[in-house]
Amino acid sequence: MLSRPKPGESEEDLLQFQEQFLAANTSAAAKVVRNADKRKGDAENSTQLSAQVTGDRDVVTLQEFLDLPPILTPGPTKKSKFAREKVCFADENPEDILEQHERHITTVFSKIIERDTSGVTITAPVSSRLPFPKVFHRSQVPSQDLPCTAKKSIFAQKMAARKTAEKVKEGSLSSPQILSCSMATPSSALSSNVIKSTLLPDAMDVDKPTLITGQGLGISAGQKEAQKIHEDNMKKLRSLSKEEIMQEQEKLLSQLDPKLVAFLKSKKGKEPTDSSSVQASQEPRTVHLEEPQYYSEEDTSGMSRSGSGEKKRAVAVSADDLPVKPQKEWVHMDTVEFEKLEWIKDLPLTRQNKTKKDMQARFSLKGDLIPPDSEIPTHMGLHHHGEESERAGYSLQELFHLSRSQFIQQRTLSLQVLGRIVQKAKQGEFSAALKGSVLRLLLDAGFLFLLRFSIDDTADNVIAAAVRALRSLLVSPEDEEYLDMTFLWYQGAKAFPFLPNEESEDEEEEEAEGLEHMVGKEERKKAKEEKKPDPDIARYDAIKGLLKTKLLHRLRYILEVVRPAPPVVLDIFNILTYVARHSVAACSQLLDCPRLIETVVQEFLPIQWSMQVHTGDLGPTNLYGIPCSAAMKFLRVLGSSGRHAAARLLNKFDLKNCLSRFVAQEPQDLPLQKEEAVRMSMETFRMWAVAAGYGQACDLYRELYPVLMGFLQSLPHLIFTCRGGNKLSPLYIQRAASVLTLLTHITQTSGWTAEIEAQLRSFQEEEGKEQTPPPSVSWDQVTGLLPLVEGCLRKCLEEVSSPSSWDLVKPLAIASLNFVASYYQAASRQPSLDTVICNEELERLTSELLLPFLNHPATDSMWNLLRSCSAVCNACSCAPLPESVPSIVTLGCAGGKAAMTLAGTKSPFSILISVLNLVCNICKIHKGMTSKFAFLLESKGLLDYLWQICKAPSPAVTPSSAWVLRHEYHLQYYVLSLKNKVAALCPDGAHHASMFHSVSVSLVSRLLPGSEYLAYQLISGFTFNPSFLPEGAAGGPEAADFSDILHINPNAKQEPLKSVAYTASSPSRGVLLKEAYKDLPSIRACYIAHLSHMEKDLSRSKFIYQERTCSLQSAMLPETRGPILPFDWPFLPLINLYNKVTNAETRGNVVNTLPSDLVNKISRNLQWLLLLESWRSGCLKNIPTAAKLARIACVFLTGGDLFLEGSVHTYTSAILMLYSQDKCLESLKLDVPIPGLSSFYDFYMDLLEQFEGVSFGDPLFGTFVLLPLQRRFSVQLKRAVFGEHVSCLRSLSVSLKELPVPLASYTSPCEDNLDLLHLYFRTLVTGALRQTWCPVLYVVAVAHLNSFIFSQDQVAQEVDAARKSMLRKIYLLVDKDLRRHLLFYKQLSSESPVGFELYEQLSPIRECYLKTVTEKYHEAKGKSS
């Protein structure tokens, strides 16, 4: 074994060791491997290239060690683009590479002749006795100012000063003056040189070279060589003419690379930067800076015209302008950078008054908008080095830039400011001062994903700021407050999901993505969303976009691992609650997120905890291990998504123990902050109420029955103590109302126990059929609750005289009324019900509680407030906020609702809905009590409200309006329900029947998803009830006939439209109305049959309103995109049949004759339309007249002979007569978009084709074709009839007596379209249009042509030539009758058989004009012959 070298051994010893090692022929302990850089070549050739490539890194690999470096070892430093381009290999020839890639260089440098340097003196290096240079300290060398353009260290400056001193000492330079000149070029000479070479580029007297410096040849020799080359070049240039110089210049420019040309030009205009041209002057150097300019609108337009190449005016900045003068002793301040020091100057004044241009919005650190003309001192910290530095504040762009900073403080600050801006923007603070929407601008810029990226940050401060900003963007605290308030209302626990109204997507895109094989709509939609990128999804739905980015997993990590401060935890719960309100799918993702619900329950809903009670307003510094009401609210909203979600929370996550823990103890006994303890108890009861709404967790009712009974007994005392004005009194009242809501749901569940048990016993014999087990609570266990709740209700209703106390206890009164109503509704289904006792209890309740309350003056004033607080009558009260965005759903409650709105503090809707619900249940059980409540329907305030909603247009259905409209529609429904009961039992109670019927027709078209059962009840029991159509039994049909007689023009007798299939005359409208009135039950059955597609939704809604809790699947209502039924629901049977027939024809089937049952349905539909148009025309005013005509025209487009059926023809004719009245014709507009039609022109083309094929000249069908041909409508429709479909003129045999529209609407004003006039003339001359075939259009064509040929208006030469040519051709017509009609037409006449009067002879003016035109023609023809 060889020994290692030891200290003190000489080089000879080392050589001897080497010989011994080589002789032993053993392997070395270490190998030196030279690997090639991966960026320069393949690693496999590293062994071959290691000996050739210089500058590579040696890698030593030891035995028993891995060859690869550890994973965490940082990779090699990146090289610049130029460094990568310089990589070369040994087998590459540099000359070949240069010739291949840089041919322009080889062209210029092809003849390079080296100068002879044999005469140059070569001096040997100065010998020294020392083996190494003497080490010196920079303090030993005198300091010397060496201003230079390049940045040098202090050591380099000392070295340069030392070399200069040695040269001076050795005498290499003759004098100090020469030293100064050699070391630094004077600024004056340099500047003049640059100016001369720049301003006179073509001059031949340039003294010094500007490109060649001689660097690398020494100081003196390099300058001499560069000067000698320069003189030779100048001599060569002087010998050439200017033309030759230009030719050579063009030749060089064509061969050189443009980048190289630009580089040479830049070098020519700059001063040298080498060490030989360093300035020696001690005077301060002048630097030119560019100052931003502020332009007005005129300046901006001038700049755009002058071009973008115009440079800004530079302003000189010197050291004298700076408030702090640079000192020589400052380290690294040898070169003064005035561009950076300029920022320490005083800011210029704002120039808002000098410009008309819109200025960029700037915000303070609190998120407030800073006015552009405000003067804010600099010590406030709002000025910075960005754009418009003189203005204080930060723009959105600058805040975005700071949010991606490397400094944690800057990222945190920017996110905090952005969150405050969003919060203030949602409250509408910027709507009056800024153009556009701040939220839309932020979301379009990617603010949502900026927050998502920031939440993934590692810094706690950044995470907290990002979470707060995301909460400000998504969550509106006011929305949550109002949702919590309406939770106590009738059906308030059911809410709409926060799903935005997504835009419809093109079906062609689905085909392009290959989704044709999927049948289900949901599957196609899900597959399409999976293929979309996250930003595209977030553009329409922010929550869906965030869920795709695994937001829930990150929030769970923050809660579980990061364990942030209490404000961040509360913000996260607010975000999770908003996500849970989004949809059932979002709730499913929340439940499936790993360890999310476990973390919430374990950390924030512990059963045992220890905490020091805080007496002040400040909460605990750590929420972990302490119950949190926000966590319970999140679980409550999550449980509202469905019964399965609630079951998982109760059983899998052991939420039952939490409910028992917080219900069994009073809030004041909980070791929590007082307000937090009350909220925790309230949310616990609400969570239990949600579960009880599915029939779950009812076993806890038996266990906690003593606690609940004790609480009910304390309610009167609670009402009394809350009068003192305690700050927590509203919370205690809401908590008490939540308890009553819980008991209401338990009572509803127990009401179905007997029925479910009976069903279970009846199906016991059936095998393999699973049955739902009965609830764990029976009816006998809840009967003892009624007396206590009635006592609470009595105390609450007594406070109606005191407005302040009433506003406080109103939530408790609402909950009590809801409980009593649900109790009696469930009691009526019990087999053990004693009807006599129940009726006595209802009579007592009515006489002692309800009637005194309803007759109170305060209650009467509530009816008067209905119109003022209505969302239907005041659509602006529920309109979306200015800053609302479609992708983020809000209820529009930011800033709070006004007191006089439906959800305001003065609104009577909540209490009146509960009262009417109870009254209707009482009247349903005890019909004898109906007469005692009939006076409610005569309330002046109620009648005024109902009359107003009949006239009001249907409100737009948006997320901000749907949640309040649903409650208002509940009030309207129960008013109609009470009216129906009163009308059935009281013959004299049919006052205002027509108004109530109009309300029912309007309400059917306005009800929202989830209320299908209410729509069914209205259609089956009210809308088609003959009792609410008193006109049918009180002379309505006779009045209709009399109205038609008065409507007829006395100068012309209107003939009814005949049918080509029947010769019998059509009955009058009165007869048809009388027949339709008798067929109302059949009409009702027809419409109910067309609602069969809603069977699933109807069943779900029925479970809600019948309070069948055990069958309810979800407390989250269906997605709302609009009302249940379309706005044109009276036309629904006809439209459905048309669509069905059209689809069949599209598949290749021929449908000519329809079955009799379908014909009967269409007849019933037309009967209902005739009734509505005759007696309830105001209910259809929301449907445009053009849309009505288009839907009635489906009679002609459905099948081949449907319109020829007797009943269909007569009712269609009667409806057409109504639409042909003057008030309807005035509202007929075909040039605007028609609902349900993509293009009226295409629809009219289909109608013409159908008319040509199957009309048989039917006058009714022809009248529909003639209606759009009136003069005021598009000329395109007329050109289609007289051009493409000219054959239909043979069948348009509608007589002038049958036409229901005045003929003047077709002839006035005169036609001015030349092409259409040519078509008129051609059809008349060729015989395609004749008076016997199409009398109406014959009159129209003759009238327009006569007016055109004799018109004396000044027109274009082309039109005048056509007019005269047409007149000459008419004059030469062979058909004398047509010639006489066109020349002697006078005016329309209903008495004439042809429809117009004729002149006996032409007027002198026309006669002269005709003679002039024809004679000139004959003269011109004679000359040509």
Distances (CA, A) of 972 to 108, 930, 953, 1037: 94, 18, 16, 30
Kindly report, residue by residue over 348-386, the tens digit of the pLDDT. 666 554 455 667 888 999 999 988 878 888 778 788 777
Higher-confidence residue of 1135 and 326: namely 1135
How far apart are the C-alpha atoms of 689 and 484, rounded to whole Å? 13
User: Tokens representing 865?
Assistant: 């407030």
Residue 179: band (very low, low, confident or very high) from pLDDT cuts 50, 70, 90: very low
If you average pLDDT over residues 1224-1252, what whole number do you get? 92
User: Which residue is listed with tokens 């003065």?
Assistant: 906
Q: What angle do CA 1291, 1297, 1303 make, to 5 degrees?
A: 85
**What is the residue-wise DSSP string for 419-472?**
HHHHHHHHTTSSTTTSSS-HHHHHHHTTHHHHHHHHHT-S-HHHHHHHHHHHHH
If you average pLDDT over residues 173-194, what whole number do you get? 33
Kindly report, residue by residue over 1155-1166, the tens digit of the pLDDT. 899 999 999 999
How far apart are the C-alpha atoms of 632 and 662, rounded to whole Å? 11
Which run of H or of E encompasses 803?
A: helix 803-827
Dihedrals phi, psi of 1337, to nearest 5 degrees: -70, -25
User: Which residue is listed with tokens 């609407």?
Assistant: 1305
Amino acid found at 528: K
Whole-number pLDDT of residue 148: 47
Parallel, antiparallel or unpaired: strands 314-317 and 287-290? antiparallel
Whole-number pLDDT of residue 1230: 92
Kindly report, residue by residue over 410-465, the tens digit of the pLDDT. 999 999 999 999 999 998 888 888 888 899 999 999 999 999 999 999 999 999 99
What is the three-class DSSP state of 345? coil
Whole-number pLDDT of residue 104: 52
If you average pLDDT over residues 586-597, what whole number do you get? 96
The answer, yes or no, to whether residue 391 has pLDDT greater than 70, is: yes
How far apart are the C-alpha atoms of 1206 and 360, rounded to whole Å? 71
Q: Which of 55-64, 86-95, 344-353, 900-909 bottoms out in mean pLDDT, i.e. has the lowest?
A: 55-64
Residue 275: band (very low, low, confident or very high) from pLDDT cuts 50, 70, 90: very low
Contact 703, 660 (CB under 8 A): yes
How far apart are the C-alpha atoms of 833 and 926, rounded to whole Å? 13
Q: Give the number of other Cβ atoms within 10 Å of residue 974's Cβ.
A: 22
Residue 303: band (very low, low, confident or very high) from pLDDT cuts 50, 70, 90: very low
Kindly report, residue by residue over 558-574, the tens digit of the pLDDT. 999 999 999 999 999 99
Contact 615, 561 (CB under 8 A): no
Q: Which of 297-301, 1084-1088, 1202-1206 bottoms out in mean pLDDT, i.e. has the lowest?
A: 297-301
Contact 1190, 1239 (CB under 8 A): no
Mean pLDDT for all residues in the chain: 81
SS3 content of the chain, % helix, strand, coil (to 5): 60, 0, 40
Q: Give which of 910, 922, 915, 1031 is closest to 981, Cα–Cα.
A: 922
If you average pLDDT over residues 97-119, what whole number do you get? 56
The answer, yes or no, to whether residue 76 has pLDDT greater than 60, is: no
Going by C-beta distance under 8 Å and a sequence separation of 6 or more, which residues neighbour residue 1157?
none
Dihedrals phi, psi of 113, to nearest 5 degrees: -110, 120
Whole-number pLDDT of residue 335: 74
The b/e string for 598-622 (b: 16+ C-beta within 10 A; e otherwise) is ebbbebbbbeeeeeeeeeeeebbee
Residue 266: band (very low, low, confident or very high) from pLDDT cuts 50, 70, 90: low
The answer, yes or no, to whether residue 67 has pLDDT greater than 50, is: no
User: Tokens representing 1248?
Assistant: 């013409």
Helices (H), 25-153: 46-49, 81-85, 94-101, 103-108
Contact 693, 745 (CB under 8 A): yes
Local structure of residue 276 (DSSP, 8 states): G
Whole-number pLDDT of residue 300: 37
Q: Give which of 176, 179, 135, 180 is closest to 158, Cα–Cα.
A: 135
The answer, yes or no, to whether residue 656 has pLDDT greater than 60, is: yes
Beta bridge partners of 290: 314
How far apart are the C-alpha atoms of 863 and 978, rounded to whole Å? 16
User: Tokens representing 919?
Assistant: 């009254």
How far apart are the C-alpha atoms of 1037 and 1041, rounded to whole Å? 6
Kindly report, residue by residue over 1351-1390, the tens digit of the pLDDT. 888 888 899 899 889 999 998 888 889 999 999 999 998 8
Q: Give which of 903, 896, 719 is closest to 806, Cα–Cα.
A: 719
Q: Give which of 484, 927, 545, 529 is closest to 690, Cα–Cα.
A: 484
How far apart are the C-alpha atoms of 981 and 923, rounded to whole Å? 7
Q: What is the dihedral of CA 971, 972, 973, 978, to 10 degrees?
A: 90
Q: Give the number of other Cβ atoms within 10 Å of residue 507's Cβ.
A: 11
Contact 1333, 1341 (CB under 8 A): no
Whole-number pLDDT of residue 1413: 84
How far apart are the C-alpha atoms of 460 and 409, rounded to whole Å? 11
Contact 860, 800 (CB under 8 A): no
Distances (CA, A) of 976 to 201, 1062, 1103: 97, 44, 21
Contact 990, 1026 (CB under 8 A): no
The answer, yes or no, to whether residue 136 has pLDDT greater than 50, is: yes
Percent of the chain topping pLDDT 90 = 51
If you average pLDDT over residues 883-909, what whole number do you get? 89
pTM: 0.77
Distances (CA, A) of 89 to 39, 44, 82, 855, 1344: 12, 14, 16, 104, 91
Local structure of residue 110 (DSSP, 8 states): S
How far apart are the C-alpha atoms of 3 and 16, rounded to whole Å? 12
Higher-confidence residue of 527 and 667: namely 667
Going by C-beta distance under 8 Å and a sequence separation of 6 or more, which residues neighbour residue 374?
392
User: Tokens representing 1355?
Assistant: 């027109």
Dihedrals phi, psi of 883, to nearest 5 degrees: -95, 10
How far apart are the C-alpha atoms of 153 and 143, rounded to whole Å? 13
Higher-confidence residue of 763 and 1394: namely 1394
The answer, yes or no, to whether residue 721 has pLDDT greater than 50, is: yes
Cis peptide before 1309 (omega within 30 of 0): yes
The answer, yes or no, to whether residue 294 has pLDDT greater than 60, is: no
User: Tokens representing 1204?
Assistant: 């020829």
Whole-number pLDDT of residue 765: 56
The answer, yes or no, to whether residue 299 has pLDDT greater than 80, is: no
If you average pLDDT over residues 519-543, what whole number do you get? 78
Helices (H), 297-390: 297-306, 338-341
Whole-number pLDDT of residue 1035: 84
How far apart are the C-alpha atoms of 1210 and 1199, rounded to whole Å? 18
Whole-number pLDDT of residue 276: 37
How far apart are the C-alpha atoms of 1202 and 1196, rounded to whole Å? 7
Kindly report, residue by residue over 670-705, the tens digit of the pLDDT. 989 999 999 999 999 999 999 999 999 999 999 999
